[in-house]
Amino acid sequence: TSRLRLYGPDLDADGPRRLTLVSELRTAVLDGALEVHVQPQAALASGRIAGVEALVRWQHPSLGPIGPDEFIPVAERSGLIGPLTSQVLDASLAACATWQAGGHDLAVAVNLSTRSLHEADLVEHVARLLACHGVAAEKLTLEVTEGSVMVDPTRSVAVLRRLRDLGVRLSVDDFGTGYSSLSYLQRLPVQEVKIDRSFVAALHSGAENVAIVRAIITLGRNLGLEVVAEGVEDQATWDLLTSLDCDLVQGWHLARAMPIDDLLPWLAARTVQ
């Protein structure tokens, strides 16, 4: 396109895409063109749908769908992560309020990137949005990764404490992939730990992997945390996690992420079965 030419022919192969992504992502964020999808989580003991995780989606006008793994880092580098996080929170809490009003007691989890965790007014902003949508704080879970907490542990823990004081639930995402010591989990004011998909996907392929997942579940249990397994793709993994006493599961075996408006129809269809 003519747009690519603006940056000149002498940039490295990846350059033009990155540059257009920044400017087009800016437009998408400012226009509110990003969409929020939700992926259900089930409680293993009861089979009940306890809530959803909000996952942001970008349908690029010419490149098609671009995954958050690609554009979240771009948003972080270009100062767009603040407004992006704010939009995801707003859409998620609006959806949560609608579900509650319809008698569906569903919680919602939102991912916080490293930058958002260190945004000066994050706590006030979350408090404001909860009040604005009339959603009880305990219906919101904020997911942070070990990595983002480790950037500035002292400050992160202080922010997490303030969120915790608001009544918001906190979760450690992608657990097991970082480099922090296991004992660090004990010092984080969190209520939940999410076992990274890489361990869950490998569950059926060896006793060592079962041992790792069992260890994380036991650790979480002993620290009084709820344990979520993400990336559950088949019944065998589901059954294994049930036998390991995992609390919640999320993954394609239950449902893929779907548009917000599809959730209640999906729930209704599931109940009928």
Q: Footprint of Ca ion on this chain (CB under 5 A)?
A: 111, 143, 173-174
CB of 163 to ligand C2E, least distance (A): 15
Q: In 3D, which of 178, 84, 94, 184 has the Cα closest to residue 139?
A: 94
Q: Applying CB under 6 A, does 263 fall inside the site for ligand C2E?
A: no
The rounded distance, in Å, linking the Cα atoms of 138 and 253 is 27
All residues at 6 or more sequence positions from 188 whose CB lies less than 8 Å from its CB, including other chains: 149, 157, 160, 170, 172
Give the CA dihedral 59, 61, 67, 73, nearest 10 degrees. Answer: -120
The rounded distance, in Å, linking the Cα atoms of 210 and 270 is 29
Could you give the string, one character per residue 237-256, with x where binding to ligand C2E holds by CB under 6 A and - elsewhere?
Answer: --------------xx----
Nearer to ligand C2E, 72 or 185 (CB): 72
Nearer to ligand C2E, 152 or 233 (CB): 233
- Residues 211-240 close enough to bind ligand C2E by CB under 6 A: 230-233
Q: Applying CB under 6 A, does 72 fall inside the site for ligand C2E?
A: yes
Binding residue for ligand C2E, selected from 144, 257, 260, 263, defined by CB under 6 A: 257
16 touches which of Ca ion, ligand C2E, none (CB within 5 to 8 A by kind)? none
Give the CA dihedral 248, 251, 252, 255, nearest 10 degrees. Answer: 60
Cα 163–Cα 254–Cα 197 angle in degrees, nearest 5:
60
- Residues 141-200 close enough to bind ligand C2E by CB under 6 A: 173-174, 197
CB of 172 to Ca ion, least distance (A): 10
